[in-house]
Structures are given as C-alpha cells and as structure tokens.
Amino acid sequence: MSCIFCMIVDGAIPSKKAYEDDEILAFHDINPQAPVHILVIPKVHIPSVDGVTAENSAVVARIFEKIPQIAAAAGLANGYRVISNCGPDACQTVPHLHFHILGGRALTEQMA
C-alpha cells in the first residue's frame, strides 16, 4: 500500500488523532499552518474531491456532520476554515481525500 493516509488509517504510520469512528479519521497535520490544523479523511480511499461519486458521497456528508464537533472540541469557537485541495493547481500533495480544518487565530482574507 503506498497511500500515506491509508497507512495512517491502518496504524502503520502514527498520527495524533482528534476524532475517529468507523468511517472517518481526524488527525493533526504534521506541518501545521495555523495554531489548529486538523485533517479529516474518509477511511475508504478516495483520491480527491474529483473522486466523489453518488456511490461514495455519504461519507463526505458524514465528514461535514462531524467537522463542527471536531472544531468545537479543538476550541475553535471563534470560527475556522475548511479547505480541500484538489489536483496540481491546488497543490494537493496527498492523493487521499482530506479536508483541512484551520483556525485558532484570525486567518487572512486571502484564500488563494
């Protein structure tokens, strides 16, 4: 298996977990770009937003159900940003669908 996030799901690579259930894992980014930087992923391998289909989109809905709880548990009462980079122009570096939760300070208005 070559997908680093699948290896994190399997426990082959350690992570600092923020949330886990049967379908979803959230863990702290190894190179945080804000005081709180958490990645939320489906346990099933989906390469990117481009790989979301009618067959697998339920887990994406579940991720968005859980994001407010994960953010609240991380202390992000004053707001946060959710980002998913898709493809080379967006600088996606890990080809396993993930949503960045960024917060813990006032973020810049610029998104790109």
Question: Which residues are near Zn ion by CB under 5 A?
Answer: 3, 5-6, 45, 96
Which residue's entry shows tokens 């702290």?
28
Contact letters (x/-) for ligand AMP, 48-87, by CB under 6 A? -------------------------------------x--
46 binds, among ligand AMP, Zn ion, none (CB under 5 to 8 A by kind): none
Phi, psi at 31, each rounded to 5°: -130, 70
Go through the chain and tell me how many residues it has: 112
Closest approach of Cβ 70 to Zn ion, in Å? 20
List all residues 6 or more positions away from 56 whose beta carbon is below 8 Å from its beta carbon.
42, 44, 46
Question: Is the distance from CB of 103 to CB of 71 less than 8 angstroms?
Answer: yes
The answer to whether 98 is a known catalytic residue is yes
How many chain residues bind ligand AMP (CB under 6 A)? 13
